[in-house]
Amino acid sequence: MNNSGFEKTIAYTFKNKELLTKALTHSSYCREHAVDIRGNNERLEFLGDAFFDAVISVELYRRLENVDEGKLTKTRALIVCEKSLATVGTRLNIGEHLNMGKGEEHSGGRQRESIIADALEAVIGAIYLDGGYDEAARFVSREFASTIDDALAGKLFADYKTQVQEALQKRGQKTFISYKLDREEGPDHDKTFYVHLVCNGKTLGSGSGKSKKEAEQNAARATLEGGIK
């Protein structure tokens, strides 16, 4: 598959073209075309997630010299999230380059934030394997420059999970927060996830979404909107 147009968009030319093809292959494509499941982008997504986190951590460590670990962690959470990845992935038009099953495509998969975010993490992982850490760091630092600037300026989208954790901790007692998956509904290419937030054994809010991350954010938002008692 010729992905030269996408290579121009991301300003990186792969030596191993198969890595990019795999990064842009959604699991639904493998299912519909009887391709080995190892041909999808999920393993590269796993790798890219770790290096995305690492690159942003280093960037913030260098730029925020006078802040403590808590502030660094909170700022990183604003950047290293599905919404941030989906925003950049949409700008790079990654959805249009994905190898995707017809069912997933017809249900709006090329525009789905969770799929775009996962694919971008897979691309980061592929760049790392193809060109090393420096190339992956260069890509992340360049493409997420404005995202980082907005996070530092307090202009970035709300991270409800961080907000609810801070609100609960202000009550002055030990806080143990977890997100429990209630159920999944729908076919593999169009699932909806339902979760609830638990704090110290008490359910505080529930939410749903097209990914577990989105459902957790919505559960945290529902907790905030419902008032924390």
> Which residues are catalytically annotated?
49, 121
Question: What is the secondary structure of 26-84 as a DSSP string?
Answer: -HHHHHHTT--GGGSSHHHHHHHHHHHHHHHHHHHHHH-TT--HHHHHHHHHHHSSHHH
> From residue 160, how far is each of 78, 205, 215 by CA, in Å?
10, 12, 11
Euclidean distance between the first and the last CA atom of the chain, given in angstroms as a whole number: 55
Query: Which residue type occupies 44?
Result: L
DSSP state of 157: P
C-alpha 180/C-alpha 193 separation (Å) is 11
Using DSSP's 3-state secondary structure scheme, residue 101 falls into coil
Q: What six digits make up the tokens of 28?
A: 């639904």
C-alpha 27/C-alpha 41 separation (Å) is 7
- Picking from 205, 176, 208, 210, the residue whose alpha carbon sits closest to that of residue 194 is 208
